[in-house]
Amino acid sequence: MALVCFASQKGSPGATMSALAVAAAWPNLAGRRKLLVEADPDGGVLAVRYRLGREPGLLSLVGAGRGGMSRDGLWNHTQRLPGGLPVVVAPDRPEQTTAALTASGSALGEWLQSLDDVDVIADVGRLGVSSPAIPFATSADLLLMVARPTAAQIQPGAERLATLARSTKHVGWCLIGTKPYSAEEIEEVHGIRVVGTLADDPKGATALEAGTSQHRRVRSPLVRSAASLAGAMADWLHPGAEHLDHPDSSEPDADADEPDDTSSGATESEEAAEGIAPETPLASEAS
């Protein structure tokens, strides 16, 4: 059972990109599958970005759920990003996504969290006090607030995390970059764990969004740091689980058939190991 949600509070720190990068880098574990879910009330972006259909997706999944959720039927509501990562896309019209989450967000979150062989990584957008994604997000095993380490983003994010921690199993930070404030400073001031840091890598983010070929992306700081964070969370959620080929090739890839560049002699696991490791142990249980 695993549901990990990526949220934001102030500005646009990159919750969608963080969820996408971590889901793409999530390790293949024996007997488990992974799934990316768009649950942002402001509407989805992946269907438009990657030229997918607007359905199947969140609306069809919620509609099917009215007759009872089916674990096997879940995959009928997914599409695949160019590199193979399965995704439940949200409609790009905010009113449709908001209506779906208002009606079924709590039940959907609880059901996804209960699946014993699926790791779900979800983008829940901005979690303001009135967000209809809150019941979905608080069903998570781990809720991460994505923020740049600036006072303008950390202060409001910390206030929201303190509130959300009362109804969520575990909460923590996913920082974008390391300046001006360090993870240690943020933890000391706010008492909330930094689960991990993703590289502040605009070129890598653009490449991931554009679906450039994997042999160029694998060296990007963003991809390496996402692989490090994904591996740490997977090991925490499933201690002792057997890792298969890691990381897999499910990052969005417009050139999926292009041969990998192996001239460096490094394996993809070695490339991923160069990423930024979580600065502290994973998030403590909410009190």
What pLDDT is attached to residue 185? 97
Over the range 122-152, which residues count as b (16 or more CB within 10 Å of their CB) and which as e?
bbbbbbeeebbbbbbbbbbbbbbbbbbbbee
What pLDDT is attached to residue 279? 36
What pLDDT is attached to residue 83? 85
What pLDDT is attached to residue 211? 65
Could you tell me the pTM of the whole model?
A: 0.85
What pLDDT is attached to residue 42? 96
Residue 5 CB-half CA count within 13 A: 30
DSSP H/E element including 16: helix 15-25
What pLDDT is attached to residue 197? 97
What pLDDT is attached to residue 276? 26
Q: Which fold, 2-273?
A: Rossmann fold (3.40.50)
What pLDDT is attached to residue 118? 96
**Regions in the chain scoring below 70 on pLDDT:** 211-218, 245-287
Domain regions of the chain by residue span: 2-273
What pLDDT is attached to residue 217? 55
Tokens at 107, concatenated: 């039940």
Task: Please tell me the distance from the alpha carbon of residue 18 to that of residue 29, in angstroms, as a whole number.
Answer: 21
